[in-house]
Amino acid sequence: MVYTFSSSTGRDLIMGENQHENEVLLHNCLPTDVWFHVSSLPSAHIYVRSCSDLSLGPSSNWGIDPKTISECCRLVKGHSIKGCKMGSVKVVASRWSNLLSPEGSEEGVVAFRDEGECRYWDGVEKDNGLIRRVEKSWERADVGRWERERREWVEGERRRVKRERKEQKEREREEERERKKKEEELSYDRVFEKIDLNDGGDGAEDLFGDEDGDWGGEGEGGGGGGGRYDESDFF
């Protein structure tokens, strides 16, 4: 079974009951979860769920409030067979995605992909009052719940990625359409600009093709030179 409960500030927490549950959680928690454990000693595994600032690194405490951190540290100490007998212990925390299960190790054994992604707190002391208060409020849930949650989360992420890729392709297609439209508009502008440049600059030729406005043929009394018309040309 897995224990579910909340910190005094309302953060959702989960804790495995034994090594088997810890192993299940190790493989089925989510990238938004942060893991707490007594450093170098066997202890309970506690996860803080839905952390918001994982990208900022351990120095930001992954967006977890100080009160929740203090409670998680004291709870893992109180649920450590050796640690609970010591005056104080060191507690380590890490993003779930930084955890790994070493090949050939026993259930519940955890190693880190990058030690630099861990956060440590020294001098953590036991708080019996806190432990009693939490134990009165926690609920038990079957380990299958976390396996189902993990599958649902993975499926949701696949849909999200697929949707975002589709939206990105549509944006790219729209950008390509806009680019071609601008190129066509620019091409038309250049065509009209070329026509204007070939115009001569002082008006079009005479309607009948004669630049000086004459008829261009012999008329009566034109002397063969072609003269301007008068009314008699039409009668």
pLDDT tens, 195-218? 665 555 554 444 445 555 454 444
pLDDT number for residue 196? 60
Q: Name the pLDDT band for 3 (thresholds 50, 70, 90).
A: very high
Pairing of strands 99-100, 118-124: unpaired
pLDDT number for residue 141? 85
Q: Is the pLDDT of residue 119 over 60?
A: yes
Q: pTM for the whole thing?
A: 0.69
Query: How far is residue 73 from each of residues 109, 123, 131, 166, measured CA to CA in Å?
Result: 18, 10, 11, 44
Q: Is the pLDDT of residue 221 over 80?
A: no
Q: Is the pLDDT of residue 85 over 60?
A: yes
pLDDT number for residue 220? 45
pLDDT higher at 149 or 82:
82
pLDDT tens, 93-115? 999 999 999 888 888 899 999 99
The segment with the largest mean pLDDT, out of 120-134, 144-158, 193-207, is: 120-134
As a 3-state breakdown, the chain gives helix, strand, coil percent values, each rounded to 5, of: 45, 15, 35
Q: Name the pLDDT band for 229 (thresholds 50, 70, 90).
A: very low
The mean pLDDT of the chain is 82
Query: How far is residue 233 from each of residues 206, 210, 211, 223, 224, measured CA to CA in Å?
Result: 19, 18, 21, 15, 15
